[in-house]
Amino acid sequence: MSQIRLATTQDDILKCRSAIQALRPQLTDELYQDAIVQTLADHRQLIFIEENNEAAAIAVFETGYNLFRGKYIYIDDLSTLPVYRGKGYAGQLLDWIFEYAQKEQFNQVHLDSGVADARSDAHRLYLNKRFQIASLHFVAKV
């Protein structure tokens, strides 16, 4: 199993840029720093697996409490650089989040995933990791 680290330094955050941009290509190099600072300031954490001095895979998750979920974790982003896919890194990050959730006594772990054909491998992983399809997610742009 690879070592999973919490991104706590500027160097760590920069190492994660390519893996985040693989999932979020709209975050250009110019936008990345401000976006990640705002994201991490809002009860979120960034974890990663490093290989060859870069983040091979990342996860961004938030912690919170609400009336419906109780104490929960929501995974905003889970991404592996294409060259490192198939090594089990995303599954290791999910396992780390589940262990963290148990240790910190969170009730649930949530995530949303798009339904395009390209997401089939991700969906298989989520189902194998005990996620259930529990709702539809609606969005209204304003």
Structural domain of residue 95, as residue ranges? 4-128
β-strands 70-80, 108-111 pairing: parallel
CA neighbor of 55 nearest in space, from 100, 98, 11, 97: 11
Does 99 map to a domain?
yes
Q: How many domains does the chain have?
A: 1
Does 140 map to a domain?
no
Does 115 map to a domain?
yes
Residue 85's CATH number? 3.40.630.30
How do residues 54-64 score in pLDDT, each as one tens digit?
Answer: 999 999 999 99
**For the chain, what is the mean pLDDT?**
95
Does 74 map to a domain?
yes
pLDDT above 90: residue 117: no
Does 9 map to a domain?
yes
Backbone angles phi, psi at 102, to 5 degrees: -65, -45
Burial 75-87 (b: 16+ CB within 10 A, else e): bbbbbbbeebeee
Does 47 map to a domain?
yes
